[in-house]
Amino acid sequence: MKTIDELLAEGVDGKRVFVRADLNVPMADGLITDDGRIRAVLPTVKALADAGAKVVVASHLGRPKGAPDPKFSLLQAAERLGELLDAPIAFAQDTVGPAAHDAVNGLQPGQVAVIENLRFNAGETSKDDTERGEFADQLAALADVYVGDGFGAVHRKHASVYDLPARLPHYAGYLIATEVGVLKKLTEDVQRPYVVVLGGAKVSDKLAVIDQLLGKADRILVGGGMVYTFLKAKGYEVGSSLLQEDQLATVTEYLERAEKTGVEIVLPVDTLVAPEFPDLSGKAPANPGTVAADAMPAGQMGLDIGPETSKLYASKLADAATVFWNGPMGVFEHPDYAAGTRAVAQALVESKGFTVVGGGDSAAAVRILGFDENAFGHISTGGGASLEYLEGKTLPGLAALED
């Protein structure tokens, strides 16, 4: 795929460059709680603006139902982008209507506009090729060139991600080029030992990637809500913990295959438990207890890996040459259940290997828990996209950027 450096070498002065970014930032009470994805697209936007392009930034935010919804407006993200660029930003209150055209037509070389949430138009996410194509045609009227830099959306066959690049000269932005380079290190040129840490709520979200990793990873450390399906598959009591009973047969097969192929699947030896899920609104003390992983009382639910497991996982990461981490070890949003996730993050910081934090809640946890982002080899902006790449799937947004 052609990169933004090639575009800059060709010259962009006065050209309208459409940048498909990923400004899908977490919000609470109308405020951005983590601006990592906005900061990730800055190098691309700044390079284009500095070269004299008229930059048109577009993104989605949340999951509106194909119509305008104020709570999913990109206004806050646009304002934050302007703050980070230290430059005024024109904001259009629609996607392809009069406001968008006015904002773009009013740009001078080196200026930036942000159009409203792409998903306010049903054509963005439509499964109908014609409807999606018609929206892509409308977006194409706003630009002369397309730059794909929204890595967190490249696994979606959406109009701005998949259809629009076919209508304009297209290039990969700095973020996508970096993300793809990192993922190739995890799939094509892996330094060993290769250790993968998987967490998060549902084991079903990770089955396909586990299936692939059983032939590639040396160790897989499992935590989060998904681990209780693994523990149940081993015959342990899991109380009222999150459990996907319909996945037990698959998990059992994976455990058996791992033993045959020499892949070490590491499960908790202890876990933090409580009678109910903690209140996250006020983060009141939860007073958890610690029990052995094979001795969980009925009526208790597991909410984090325990202290002995934290030590075990740190030891299993100590000699790693390559680490990929996707998914927290527990309910890290509550301080009483953040220790396991913190321990894994700290082990990655101390690692001498190449460490990749695979987006989503893992990336959020790193920031919320106060770690220096520069202490990791790479923090991805796309958890779902990273997982699908590791599963071996073709990602529509990357395929669309290929020549």
Q: Is 9 helix (H, G, I), strand (E, B) or coil?
A: helix
Q: How many residues does the chain have?
A: 403
Tokens of 377: 């080899």
Distance CA 296, CA 56 (A): 54
Binding residue ranges for ATP = 206, 302, 333, 359-362
Give residue 205's pLDDT.
Answer: 87
112-115 vs 170-172, strand pairing mode: unpaired
31-32 vs 27-28, strand pairing mode: antiparallel
- The owner of tokens 């690692």 is 351
Which of 15, 16, 20, 37 is an active site residue?
Answer: 37
Instruction: Answer yes or no: are the C-beta atoms of 17 and 143 closer than 8 Å.
Output: yes
Which of 2, 167, 185, 202 is an active site residue?
Answer: 202
Binding residue ranges = 22-24, 37, 60-63, 119, 156, 206, 302, 333, 359-362
Which of 327, 353, 384, 397 is an active site residue?
Answer: 384
For residue 298, give every residue at least 6 positions away whose Cβ sits within 8 Å of its Cβ, in sequence order, or none. Answer: 237, 239, 240
Adjacency order of strands within the sheet including 270-274: 289-292, 270-274, 301-305
Q: Which helix (H) or strand (E) holds 355?
A: strand 354-357
Tens-level pLDDT at each residue, the chain (403 residues): 999 999 999 999 999 999 999 999 988 888 998 898 999 999 999 999 999 999 999 999 999 999 999 999 999 999 999 999 999 999 999 999 999 999 999 999 999 999 999 999 999 999 999 999 999 999 999 999 999 999 999 999 999 999 999 999 999 999 999 999 999 999 998 999 999 999 998 888 899 899 999 989 999 999 999 999 999 999 999 999 999 999 999 999 999 999 999 999 999 999 999 999 988 877 777 778 999 999 999 989 999 999 999 999 999 999 999 999 999 999 999 999 999 999 999 999 999 999 999 877 898 899 889 999 999 999 998 888 999 999 889 999 999 999 7
**Residue 92 CB burial class (10 angstroms; 0-12, 13-18, ≥19):** buried
Give residue 338's pLDDT.
Answer: 94
Distance CA 109, CA 112 (A): 9
Q: Which helix (H) or strand (E) holds 307?
A: helix 307-317
Q: What is the DSSP letter of 79?
A: H
- The owner of tokens 């669309």 is 400
Distance CA 304, CA 310 (A): 10
Binding residue ranges for substrate = 22-24, 37, 60-63, 119, 156
Active site residue 384: yes
Sequence-separated contacts (24+) of 369-372 with Cβ below 8 Å: 369/332, 369/338, 369/341, 369/342, 369/345, 371/345, 371/346
Q: Count other Cβ atoms within 10 Å, centred on residue 129.
A: 12
Instruction: Answer yes or no: are the C-beta atoms of 184 and 389 closer than 8 Å.
Output: no
Task: Please state the separation of Cα 211 from the chain's center in Å.
Answer: 20
Active site residue 37: yes
Which of 148, 225, 353, 360 is an active site residue?
Answer: 360
Distance CA 64, CA 58 (A): 15
CA angle 7, 11, 15 (to 5 degrees): 95
Q: What is the DSSP letter of 393?
A: P
Q: Count other Cβ atoms within 10 Å, centred on residue 163.
A: 24
Instruction: Answer yes or no: are the C-beta atoms of 154 and 148 closer than 8 Å.
Output: yes
Active site residue 167: no
322-326 vs 301-305, strand pairing mode: unpaired
pTM over 0.85: yes
- The owner of tokens 């998904």 is 226
